[in-house]
Structure 1
Amino acid sequence: MILSRTIARRRIAAGVRPGWVGAWGLVAIDTLILFALMATVFWLSRGVFATWPTWAAITALVLVFFIPLQGVLIISSLWAARSRWTDESDAKAEP
C-alpha cells in the first residue's frame, strides 16, 4: 500500500496517467511484499498457534492476517484505479 499509494499520488499530482501494467503492477508488488511479511510473521509465531484451540487459532489468523491483507489490497487497488482515472473535462480540454 505504501509503494502504490506514494507513486500514484505523485502521478496524479503530475497529471501522468500510467498504463494498466504501470498502475496495477504496483499493486502486485505491494501484494508480494505483504505476503512475504506475513509469511515471516506466521513462521515466527507458528509455535504459539499450535498450542491454542483450533477456533482461537483461526480467529487470530483472520484478525491478524486476512483482514489487514484485504484492507491493504483494497486501498492499493483504489489508488491504482484513481491514478488511471481520466476526467471528462480533461478529455475535452485536450484537442
Structure 2
Amino acid sequence: MSLTNIEQVMPVKLAQALANPLFPALDSALRAGRHIGLDELDNHAFLMDFQDYLEEFYARYNVELIRAPEGFFYLRPRSTTLISRSVLSELDM
C-alpha cells in the first residue's frame, strides 16, 4: 500500500478546514441559504481564515462563497450548480 502525499490531492489548509469540527454544521447552514455574520463569531472567523480554500472547494459544485461588503458570508449558486437551491423568506435572512 503506497502513501499519497495529501498535497497532491488537495491543499493542506483545505484538508484542515474540512476536518474542522465547525465545518459540517457551517457547510449545512450555508447550503441551506443562511448568511453567516459577525454575530456567529466562531463560524465567521473560520470562514475568514479559510476563505480562499473554501472558495476553491465550493467552485467544484458551481457555487460561489461570497463575502458581502457588510461582512457576512453566503453561498451564491451558479445556473449549473450541483447544490440544490433554497429560498429563504426575509425573516429567515
TM-score calculated relative to the size of structure 2: 0.28
Higher helix share: 1
Higher relative contact order (CA 8 A, sep 6+): 1
Higher strand share: 2
Q: Which has the larger radius of gyration?
A: 1
